[in-house]
Chains A and B, each alone.
Chain A
């Protein structure tokens, strides 16, 4: 019988419980155990590490572009190379960093924050990770072969259609979208299921931490937005490989169809990237102001409203295509109105700071940087929402400035703060605070020196995506300034990640709760054991650790000798039933390899999908094959036959 219990446990009980849980949840050992891992800590860490590796690659590409643009008529990069680089920079930051890194952080943090033992569908999680890894390897391999996509991350037709994009470059783009979106969709489903069904008893939906809310909203947005771009990428795959005419105007196809499909994904994508950032800001503001965020309900409603409205304004990327007046007015209104929920959240955070007592430690500094930068991005967003202004500013460096203010301001600043904040939980060690402050100021100053002048460049007529410009245009000085700023920004990033890498081994030991956090992840040791919590907590408020953490009730009745997880009800988080989670398996890795082979083969022939799906079906059968009761019985003889989730 599952229930809650306030009975105190003795330390001998704890030790015995630890033994059993450790045996049940510990990953297997051995040469190939790396391929068997499914536990959310190791997959989450790998996910984060890989995403930051791609972030570094994307940053190097950005630096190369800034060097090329530092002076007019520069010949540092050829036109063709530059086009590949700016395309790959966009692809990396959007598909290989922005979405995955947020999901990766959630994969690590969310189960801890919810007080559960594991993420839902752990095997699928491993599969999603390997696909993500292969995606990056494929596209960076292509760059070294001089065949990286060169039509922009948006890959507009007809420039990407067979007649104007020879070779396999655009096919690589299309398959990369398949890779990353399969991966992102799988993780999104895991996050939604974990949040809705695995919360600690008592963590009803109005007691969920705001970070959890933000990830729930983000994951739902991913589930609704990503299919659109997968449809688009497979349409262009069909056009290029099979010879359909979906986007060929000569044969009755329509090139604007592409833009609608792409931006129906592409605009929500922006919110998908920064809504988790807003959640991180809420976590950090709460902890470093020693006060719950003001206006919880307003915050949650704002997140949800942003998500809904985010799907209603994709057309503002298409104002220059010439749309009917009434349509333009509608999308202008929608694009401006989405500033309101973000504004409400900003006001609530300021109120929290007002009421609280801020302590200026590095995570909080990054949040302050977020305020200074993101608000500029939001306000320039109001500008480009206006049709008359947008037809002047669209596709110029003004938009480059705007989107970096929104995405670096709204996602990367909070993310760096969040990494600093959760670093002790993941590694058991603290990052260096002085270096943290130094890296914050370098990043903050470097960022503004790089991107603020771009507003002016755009107004002076400099279009985006140009590999060079003439000296007569007078854009040289501000471009040089931006390049210098990019150097400072890069230095700050190096310092931040150097700080992180160094202190992974050399840092001061953190202890379970170095910041005095309010949420459940700080209730367990750092780094957490494989089973997360010795005894699963029961929650009675929004800030469980701030309300009598010593005598908190815990869950009793879960088997420790099986991978058993407590499933709770969606709204009130009342205990519902127990569920046995699957054991480590190599099949996710093998299936990911097969999927990768299928998608890479899809560059060359559509038959790859017919063959690949057949092979994949065989591997998936092996993956889902129920383990024999006899084998299960070794661990618990009396266990009833229980379903396995993967």
Chain B
């Protein structure tokens, strides 16, 4: 009897897992043309804080492992790392937090990449094919934990910053003096 109950539970669980698997594992190399929500959006909405998306356009790659992985590759190939580092931010804002100036919904990020934003974010419209923009969107959202963790890479493969690798020893800040240049 115990065995039968286990079997039933197992069936239910495996069915649930299977449903999730399908979207995550899909690998369609020439998908139909993905939707581009950029047309309806204003160039600069300049509305920091919470932003209301204008049109609901779902990312066709939401939760897709291959797309997130490709997005990650493109993120360094297109030199996004130059400003955003690997999500930690630098010249550009960090992407590891989930509340963003211009919205963190897929279509907001799509618009940010395509249209550009004031103070440094260039417009990649016409430069990056829409399909790849969506892949970047999926990856960027995965940085902030907005994508399913099961679809994401288990680790960053690029070189990590280690404290002991840096030239200056790490000193505690001293009271009253300016930080070391």
0 or 1 for each of A241-281: is its CB under 8 Å from B? (1 = yes):
11111001011000000000000000000000000000000
Residues of chain A within 8 A (CB-CB) of B159 are: 250-251
B113 to chain A, nearest CB (A): 21
Q: How far is the CB of B149 from chain A (nearest CB, A)?
A: 8
Instruction: Indicate if the CB atoms of A241 and B154 lie closer than 8 Å.
Output: yes
Known A-B contacts A32-B3, A242-B154; A251 and B65 likewise in contact (beta carbons under 8 Å): no
Given A163-B69, A167-B65, check contact A80 B155 (CB 8 Å): no
Q: Interface with A: B18-26, B34-42, B104-112, which one? A: B18-26
Contact present for B65 and A166 (CB under 8 Å) = yes
In the complex, the answer to whether A248 meets B155 with C-beta atoms within 8 Å is yes
- Answer whether A597 and B157 are a contact pair too, CB < 8 Å, given A146-B25, A166-B68, A604-B150: no
- A146, B160: Cβ atoms closer than 8 Å: no
The answer on a CB contact under 8 Å between B150 and A168 is yes
A-side contacts of B163, CB under 8 Å: none
A-side contacts of B22, CB under 8 Å: 145-146
Which residue of the partner chain, among B7, B18, B24, B157, contacts A162 with CB atoms under 8 Å? B157
Within 8 A of A (CB), among B39-98: 65-66, 68-69, 72
* B155 and A145 contact, CB distance less than 8 A: no
Which residues in B have their C-beta under 8 angstroms from that of A245? 155
Residues of A contacting B168 in the complex (Cβ-Cβ under 8 angstroms): none
Question: How far apart are A88's CB and chain B's nearest CB, in angstroms?
Answer: 15
Against B, the Cβ 8 Å flags (1 = close, 0 = not) of A221-258 are: 00000000000000000011111110010110000000
Secondary structure at chain B's binding surface: helix, strand, loop or mixed? helix
> Quick check: A162 and B25 within 8 Å, CB to CB?
no
Contact indicator A168/B24 (Cβ below 8 Å): yes
- Asked if A153 is at the interface (CB within 8 A of a chain B CB), the reply is no
Q: Is the CB of B3 within 8 A of A146?
A: no
Main secondary structure of the interface of A (DSSP, over half): loop
Give chain A residues whose Cβ lies under 8 Å from the Cβ of B66: 166-167
Interface-side segment among A208-216, A497-505, A586-594:
A586-594
User: For residue B2, which residues in chain A have a CB less than 8 angstroms away from its CB?
Assistant: 586, 590
Closest CB-CB distance, A504 to chain B, in whole Å?
Answer: 27
Q: Which residue of B lies closest to A148 (CB)?
A: B25
Residues of A close to B29: CB separation below 8 A: 80
A35 to B1, CA, bound (A): 11
Known A147-B21, A243-B154; judge A32-B4 contact (CB<8 A): yes
By beta carbon, the residue of chain B nearest A158 is B157
Chain A residues positioned under 8 Å from B156 (CB to CB) = 243
- Neighbouring A residues of B10 by C-beta, 8 Å: 593, 597
Residues of chain A within 8 A (CB-CB) of B153 are: 162-163, 166
Chain A hits for B6, CB < 8 A: 590, 593
CA distance A170 to B90 in the complex (A): 34
Complex contact B157–A250 (CB within 8 A): yes
Residues of A within 8 A of B13 (CB): 597
Could you tell me the distance between the alpha carbons of A145 and B155 in the complex, rounded to whole angstroms? 25
Name which residue of chain B comes closest to A244, CB basis. Answer: B155
Given A145-B22, A168-B21, A168-B24, CB of A239 within 8 Å of CB of B3: no
Chain B residues 140-165 with CB under 8 Å of chain A are 150-151, 153-160
Contacts of A589 in B (CB 8 A): 3
Tell me, yes or no, whether A161 is within 8 Å of chain B by CB: yes
A89 CB within 8 Å of chain B = no
Across the interface, name the chain B residue whose C-beta is closest to A161. Answer: B157
- Pick the contact of B69 from A141, A166, A240, A248 — CB < 8 Å? A166
Q: Say which residue of A145, A167, A169 sits within 8 Å of B18 (CB atoms).
A: A145
Closest to B1 in A: A32
Interface string of A140-155 (1 = CB under 8 A from B): 0100011100000000
Please tell me if the beta carbons of A169 and B25 are within 8 angstroms of each other in the complex.
yes
Q: How far is the CA of A94 from the CA of B157 in the complex (A)?
A: 31
- A80, A158, A167, A604 — most chain B CB neighbours (10 Å): A167
Candidates B25, B27, B151, B154; contact of A239 at CB < 8 Å: B154
Q: Known: A169-B25, A590-B2. Is A251-B69 also a contact (CB below 8 A)?
A: no
Residues of A close to B17: CB separation below 8 A? 600
Give B83 Cβ to nearest chain A Cβ, in Å. 21
Whole-angstrom distance between the Cβ of A105 and the nearest chain B Cβ:
28
Given A166-B66, A166-B153, A589-B3, are A251 and B18 also a contact pair (CB < 8 Å)? no
Residues in A neighbouring B3, C-beta threshold 8 A? 32, 35, 586, 589-590, 593
CB distance from A514 to the nearest CB of B (A): 38
The residues of A that contact B158 with a CB separation of less than 8 Å are 250
Given contacts A35-B3, A168-B21, A590-B2, contact A162 B27 (CB under 8 A): no
A590–B21 Cα gap in the complex (Å)? 26
Closest 7 CB pairs of A and B: A166-B69, A243-B155, A167-B65, A147-B25, A163-B157, A166-B65, A162-B153
Known: A146-B25, A147-B21, A168-B21. 17 other contacts (CB 8 A): A35-B3, A146-B22, A163-B72, A163-B157, A166-B66, A167-B65, A167-B151, A168-B25, A168-B150, A240-B155, A241-B154, A243-B154, A245-B155, A250-B158, A250-B159, A590-B3, A593-B7
Complex A-B: 9 CB contacts under 8 Å: A146-B27, A161-B157, A162-B155, A163-B69, A166-B65, A167-B24, A168-B21, A590-B3, A600-B14
